[in-house]
Chains A and B, each alone.
Chain A
Amino acid sequence: MSTGAVAVPEPRTDASTAKAESPPPTLSAWGRLPAEGRELLTEDLERSTVGAALCRGLGRSYGDSSLPARADDKVVATRLANRILHVDEQTGDFVAEAGVSLAELNRLFLPRGWFTPVTPGTKFVTLGGMVASDVHGKNHHRDGCFGAHVRRLRMRLADESVVTCSPEENEDLFYGTIGGMGLLGHVLQVEFQMRRIPSQWIRAETERVRDIDEFLEGLGRTAPAWPMTMGWIDCLSHGSSMGRGILTAGRWATAEEAPSAPPPPPRELTFPVELPNWALNPVTARLFNTAYYWRHMAHRWSGLMTPDAFFYPLDAILHWNRAYGARGFTQYQCVLPRAAGTAAVREFMFLLTKLGGASPLCVIKDCGPEGKGVLSFPLEGTSIAVDMAVSPDLQRIVDNLNAFVIEVGGRIYLTKDRFTRAEHFRAMEPRLPRFLALRDKWDPKRRLRSAQSVRIFGDAA
């Protein structure tokens, strides 16, 4: 049957139709703390980014990097600017608009034997966001960040021009944009290298570990042998079991190991309601952690997993951030340099358990060498990420953790951050002057800004 469908284009919209509404609309990111403002949803990113202060993808960054500096700043939502423009199935060269999501790429291309070279812990991110955050994943110790696999970017600059940049052309703009939180220009189009995978299954091994020392030893032991590693830490347990958890390592299964059937489509449940603020408290969090730890009955387990279960366990529950209630939450993620030694990690865990405020989600991962992105987060060492509900105590906890991170020469991940003070960021980020010089060159009037750039870089609000 030859079926044809004729689709006539989207309607022309009178741009002046926006109405003033009351109460003022707000935007929020994954951490649920709102900021006044609205997003402009568009299918035509190139046209809509004229005069824009900020682009945002799926709003999965935890903090305020995707939130407007001022309520009337033009914030462009990229998620419908999501066309795949070119796929070379010989070489793995992909070109797509910035709003294409990883979920969509996986849905379309996993069955065809292609996977993103680097994936964060959620597939609900856009390519533009992956560039702006220079995301890292379980394979960082081997493959670096997403930015290391990007070939070329097409960008709308603050002066309204559109340029391309790559390691050969406008090199400084290219490396500044990778991990640059969208502040040097709006990413319109991303060209990157996809990776051939031998099967659609993951061969994984998990191991229950008793404390932080065993954890660090385990991460060090598995990293050379496994392309992907990470660990879940119970950061509510004190004393001799401080830092107990589950260490996971994995690789793509070979065609011989993998079942012939493709993985079943992921079952997605929706977290149905916003829980009250008190629902997730130290008692319930500890109960959860103990159950989660002992669910892993066997000391070691090895077998096949679906990519969704391996990479995106939390994506199985849509809107899981509702568990934190209306108060919202943040994630504290830092990386401690290898040079500071395992003692620094142990001390950090001790400080974390002492300060309190931690929740069930705490992830540890060792990182490979620093990438070329000017503000890219990872550096060689140990990364620790922990969710924390917003409370009157939170600022003090973050300040204390930051003071420790500065002392040992580590740094924090802007994509997760909403509470770091500007002076703390300056102290932990020797690369900051280089980034500010790039902003002076590409956006001297600071037309591009976010709530985060006001807080951390001191942009005018």
Chain B
Amino acid sequence: MGRAIARRLAERGESVFLLGLDEADLERSAADLKERHRDKASVGYAVCDLERPEGFAAALDAADAALGELDTVVVTAAMFASQEALEADVELTRRLVTVNYANTVVFCEHVKKRLLARGGGRLVVFSSVAGDRGRKPVGIYGSSKAGLSVYLEALDHKYHAAGLSVTCVKPGFVKTGMTAGLKPPPFAGEPDQVADDVVRAMDRGKPLVYTPGIWALVMLVIRSLPRFVMRKIGF
């Protein structure tokens, strides 16, 4: 997902800095982004691991140095595992909720401080529709995203006036490597379609975006289902 969003930014001439796990992979992604603009987009990268919060400040320093003070941060990273895999492995559960909630919040706090110090900016973070309701097949993953969504909403309420624009992205099922092996439900989206929605929401400073858009409606229904129904049904 990060790749599809970064491409849109590079193609319209913005400078981009990538953070990721694998240096060789980042190098290839940076080359791709660079070639997407007629004048060769300016693209840098640094290694950053959401499991290692001690590296966040240095990674953001590198981005700031390369971009001459960044003004927008997009966070697409997270961990995903099925409910069965998580229930079978407590350590995996600990890692997943730490990465998706605690460490992502810590990362956002670093970003928030920097952006506020320079008069504001934009923070776009991928949460998930799975965080909207406690559901059997995505209970643990969903709870980590529920926490993140609440954090992002509060961040928006508190700092909007100070110039910080926060966008919480709630993708429905998107056909990417993350969901490979899962059966796509109805309304599954493609990364390009989701990236278009996200960039539009970011540009307009929308605090919340469901993507593909139909998921806003789907989740409205799911959120309004009474508990006894949720207990009965399988999703």
A interface with B by C-beta (< 8 Å): 1-19, 21, 25, 38, 40-44, 48, 80, 83-87, 97, 108, 111-112
Contact = CB atoms under 8 A, between A and B. Distances in A.
A201 B80 CA distance: 47
Interface stretch (B2-10, B148-156, B208-216, B221-229): B2-10
A266 to B, nearest CB: 16
A17 B28 CA distance: 28
A90 to B, nearest CB: 13
A19 B31 contact: no
B16 A5 contact: yes
Nearest to A22: B183
Given A6-B63, A19-B182, A85 B5 contact: no
A3 B71 contact: yes
Contact of B5 (A2, A7, A16, A87): A7
Nearest to A76: B180
Contacts of A9: 2, 18-22, 25-26, 76-77
B181 A86 contact: no
Nearest to B85: A14
Given A4-B72, A6-B60, A14 B19 contact: no
Nearest to A1: B71
Interface string B195-220: 00000000000000000000000000
Q: Say whether chain A's binding surface is mostly helix, strand, loop, or mixed.
A: loop
Nearest to B66: A4
Contacts of A2: 15, 67-69, 71
Contacts of B18: 6-7, 9
Contacts of B31: 83-86
Contacts of B22: 9
A108 B1 CA distance: 19
A85 B32 contact: yes
B19 A6 contact: yes
A15 B80 CA distance: 10
Interface centre among B9, B26, B31, B191 (most CB of A within 10 A): B31
Nearest to A17: B82
26 contacts: A5-B14, A5-B16, A5-B73, A6-B63, A7-B2, A7-B76, A8-B75, A9-B19, A9-B76, A10-B1, A10-B2, A10-B77, A12-B80, A14-B80, A17-B85, A17-B181, A17-B182, A41-B175, A41-B176, A80-B191, A83-B3, A83-B28, A85-B35, A86-B35, A108-B35, A111-B38
Contacts of A48: 177
Contacts, number: 161
Interface residues of B, number: 62
A83 B80 contact: no
Contacts of B17: 4-6
A372 B91 CA distance: 55
Interface string B52-80: 00000000100110111111111111111
Given A4-B71, A16-B85, A41 B180 contact: yes
Contacts of B69: 2, 4
Interface string B164-185: 0000000000011111111100
Contacts of B50: 8
B36 interface: yes
Contacts of B6: 5, 7
Contacts of A38: 181
Contacts of A7: 2-3, 5-6, 16, 18-20, 74-76
Nearest to B88: A16
A342 B46 CA distance: 63
Given A5-B6, A8-B20, A44-B25, A21 B63 contact: no
Given A5-B72, A7-B5, A17-B84, 5 more contacts: A2-B71, A4-B67, A5-B14, A8-B19, A8-B50
Contacts of B85: 14, 16-17
B105 interface: no
Contacts of B178: 10-11, 13
Nearest to B24: A46
B207 to A, nearest CB: 18
A84 B180 CA distance: 23
A25 B182 CA distance: 11
Contacts of B9: 3, 5
A7 B77 CA distance: 8
Contacts of B176: 10, 41, 43, 80
A239 to B, nearest CB: 48
A97 B68 CA distance: 31
Nearest to A8: B77
A84 B32 contact: yes
Contacts of B63: 4, 6
Contacts of B5: 5, 7
A17 B32 CA distance: 30
Q: Which 10 A-B pairs have the closest CB atoms?
A: A4-B70, A9-B20, A8-B77, A4-B67, A18-B181, A7-B2, A83-B32, A17-B82, A14-B81, A3-B14
Nearest to B10: A5
B106 interface: no
A40 B28 CA distance: 21
B230 interface: no
A87 B38 CA distance: 11
B78 A11 contact: yes
Contacts of A8: 2, 19-20, 48, 50, 75-77, 107
Contacts of B32: 83-85
Contacts of B98: none
